[in-house]
Structure 1
Amino acid sequence: MPELGFSRRTALRGLGATGLLAALTGCGVPAAYVAEDQRSAADRSARDKSVSFSNWPLYIDVDEEDETRRPTLESFSRSTGISVRYTEEINDNDEFFGKVSPALMNRQQTGHDLVVVSDWMAARFVRLGWAQKMDRAAQPNVARHLDPQLRSPAFDEGRAHTVPWQSGITGIAYNRRALGRELKSVSDLWHPDLAGKVTLFSGLDESFALLMQGDGVDTARWTTGDFHRACDQVERMVRKGHIRRFTGNDYTSDLSKGDVLACQAYSGDAIQLQADNPDIEFVVPEEGAELWSESLIVPNLAPHKANAESLVDHYYRPEVAAELAAYVNYVCPVPAAQAVLADSDDAETAALAEDPLIFPDREMRKRLTVARDIAPDERPELARRWNSIVGL
């Protein structure tokens, strides 16, 4: 299991690439958009059996005895003869966008065949025409096993250009023993007994959906008015000193040390926190929670597209998806992997099949929503409002 302390959902810092996106899409540079028929390069996959795959740190299984080995990648290479150059170079969505955007904007190769970014960033790539459509005929496992709840986000209808790598839930984590009561809803965060003991995520994209759900908003169809009402609530709590601070993934340390009693949290982190402290609980609020993904995309002009598509399909084999899920402990986008884990001879591994934070049950799924992402023309206004509250 990976060490706690690094989040795959890195907080948005200021306008950053948001400003760049606005410049590309709304300030006189329409040529940044690449039409679908101009995104591919001559594919070298057949004669060059390799693929370049970039991911976040600590986001893949490793061998317990040799941490330089990654069993699921090795099984892919053995079965296909395709070697994988795997790099853990993605530490921040905006930073990565800034790194590759000059090449993509100028119709040049990025050096990447396959990358993993958060879906709100994947939405930028799709809208700019910087992600290639995948050949689903070459991906039978994706077609068969992709979680139906993740099949068609608003930014990529039918998942034509993206495929979830792992998913997760943004909910609430709290210390049940220290608080002395149950916490069931987002509104419970504002109870007087939590004054000064609550943290929220500082990132706009990480925070907004759960806060609006606490207001009863259908986050698949939210409006800017819904957003500003949620901000009004947060602003009031900041003025009262109710919110201790806004965090990145350092919320895990605050909760573990007892500096806070309740916080916005990610389901994958919660599983690891509970392993060290069984008093910590993760809640999918009664009003609902956000189901999000971090997704695989094939950037424009990738020279090994077919090999990349083959690697994506490899991770949608239930036995491979199960091996990955057992290591990273995020929501598995392959429901069929649950039965594989349940059949494990190892009791600890088999128990993961019953964990609703890895395989959400039917009741939990009723409260999970894939939120509509922030559109480019909305982002400057919303980022200014949110960042003024957070202090970015």
Structure 2
Amino acid sequence: MEQYEPDRLTPPQVAAVRRSMRSGRAALTRRSLLRATAGGALAAGGLGALSGCGIPAAGKTQGGIPAEDHSVREKTVNFSNWTEYIDVDDSGKHHPTLETFRKRTGIRVDYTEDINDNNEFFGKIKPQLAAGQDTGRDLIVLTDWLAARLIRLGWVQKLDPANLPHAYSNLSPQFRDPDWDPGRSYSYPWQGISTVIAYNKKALDGIEVKSVSDLLDNPRLKGRVGFLSEMRDSMGMTLLDMGKDPARFTGDDYDAAIARLQKAVDKGQIRRFTGNDYT
């Protein structure tokens, strides 16, 4: 993601944040959007799946055309994920999970850490998906709200339960039937996520940061604060700090939280908004 240091949040940016907080499938509630109970949803698509959906350019499909299954002759899976969202060995060069999968199935995984931000990644693949073209990816890991959007648009291939005999039964009950993908027909959870405050105490000369208020109001932190560009995380934390329930916020609550972040940007307290490249 291109990192930016805005002088202010422009009206279009504010509108985009508002849409982001309330978008997704119509059936999604604010609670399900903000709780992020199953953070990364593993969506199937890309090679062979999305390329064969027959999606009209810039259009939306209700079901799509089933893609041809190439799995018998193509023994490679192209997998896009976020940075540091998979296990590594002591050398930092190999992924034990993927190597074990290859040994058991004979299928090679071409693994790429090229997802930095949900909206940024969606902007990257949307033109191809809207045109019914191959994205070059078979599996992608997205936060649940964006996985829901791709499913709703008909841009994801339905999973074959016969090829996943134990996947559903191995899921904890709370992850089996999200309202945006009942029965896990198109997706499976990859990892859970938590939104937290992290800081280097030594670098801050002993300053303790215990709340969003500390980040936004402590003058000693001016220009040293970073927020996530994922507004469900940043806005959720800000609303909580203001004593509001992120699952039941009002329009006035939302506007007040935006104004609070805007003030911090204007006075230079927030240095930048960043995607997963903060790692």
Fold match, TM over 0.5? Answer: yes
In structure 1, which of residues 149, 154, 164 is the aligned counterpart of residue 189 of structure 2? 164
Report the AA paired with residue 156 of structure 2.
A
Moved more, 88-97 or 104-113: 88-97
1:61 aligned partner: 87
Maintained 8 Å contact 1:156/1:162: yes
Give the TM-score normalised by structure 1. Answer: 0.47
Gaps of 5+ in 2: 7-11, 21-55
1:245 paired to 2:263: no
Maintained 8 Å contact 1:56/1:91: yes
Partners of 1:53 and 1:215 lie apart in 2 by 39
Partners of 2:112 and 2:265 lie apart in 1 by 40
Partners of 1:89 and 1:250 lie apart in 2 by 10
CA deviation after TM superposition for structure 1 residue 31, in Å: 6.5
Report the AA paired with residue 243 of structure 1.
Q
Q: 1:91 to 1:210 in 2, by over 3 A?
A: closer
Maintained 8 Å contact 1:131/1:161: yes
1:110 paired to 2:135: yes
Q: CA RMSD in A?
A: 4.0
Moved more, 223-232 or 172-181: 172-181
CA deviation after TM superposition for structure 1 residue 76, in Å: 0.9
Q: 1:128 to 1:182 in 2, by over 3 A?
A: same
Partners of 2:246 and 2:197 lie apart in 1 by 17
1:80 paired to 2:113: no
In structure 2, which of residues 232, 244, 266 is the aligned counterpart of residue 217 of structure 1? 244
Give the TM-score normalised by structure 2. Answer: 0.63
Maintained 8 Å contact 1:54/1:116: yes
1:48 paired to 2:105: no
1:235 paired to 2:262: yes
Count, aligned residues:
231
Q: 1:242 to 1:96 in 2, by over 3 A?
A: closer
SS at match of 2:198: strand
Instruction: Please identify which structure carries the higher helix content.
Output: 1
1:32 aligned partner: 59
Maintained 8 Å contact 2:60/2:153: yes
Q: 1:237 to 1:76 in 2, by over 3 A?
A: closer
Q: 1:196 to 1:53 in 2, by over 3 A?
A: closer
Identity %: 41
SS at match of 2:86: coil
Q: Deviations over 1:182-203 (max 9, x none)?
A: 6544344455565626624151
